[in-house]
Amino acid sequence: MYLFFASAVDNFSKLPVLQESVGNLNAFETFSKEQLTLQDKISVVGFFGEDIKSKQGNAFNLNLKIYKKNHEFRDFQFVILAPYGAEDEAKSLLDELGTLVDVSGWNFIFGTSENIKSFYSSLKTPYQLDEKLATDFVFIIDKKGNLRGRDEDVEKNKQEVYGYDASSVADLANVMVDDVKVILAEYRLALKKYKADRKEN
């Protein structure tokens, strides 16, 4: 009986993998021309496109509802993709976000339109980038580079969730907040188990 419930809790506590091994960020650069990685990080990935000012509301929603509550988790990061030429707008937005919280976990990275489209296609979501290489949806990528979300469950009338609409405070507060909690808890439990196993050995 114990094993049955333990197994159920374990399954419940994990956010489903919807796409394994999405693309890497090797073709992108940070402000300082360095490369960023998704490996060994829990990443919230967004696409703000050419007109970053138009995504300012999304950024503030994410900063308040998701980032501010979780940024102290060491392996948690935000990764926002934008094309070359958007650096100044990105810096300006980052300065504004920084008036509310330490934004060292916010990362803007820049690349060509082709590289942005290529990385986005690797997510294999039902959503599309617009003509400015942007979308309101943001995505959770785990430490192994897998896209996480929610499985479809016909019996419970639940649809698959590949991404979260950052323009909707309700979507962030009612869906994404819970899913980020689940994946962070998953890794916290894994870390506790690892430390316990080391003590036993």
pLDDT of residue 159: 80
72 SS3 class: coil
Mean pLDDT (whole number) for 173-183: 95
pLDDT of residue 189: 83
Read off the tokens for 84.
């070359």
Length of the chain: 201
164 SS3 class: strand
The predicted-structure confidence for 100-155, as pLDDT tens digits, reads as follows 999 999 999 999 999 999 999 999 999 999 999 999 999 999 999 999 999 876 55
Query: Widest CA span of the chain, in angstroms?
Result: 59
User: In Å, how far are 35, 135, 161 from 125, measured between CA atoms?
Assistant: 25, 12, 9
Domain ranges of the chain: 14-200
Separation between Cα atoms, residue 29 and residue 36, nearest integer Å: 7
At the topology level, CATH places domain 14-200 in Glutaredoxin (3.40.30)
Band of the pLDDT at 48, cuts 50, 70, 90? very high
Separation between Cα atoms, residue 17 and residue 131, nearest integer Å: 28
pLDDT of residue 188: 84
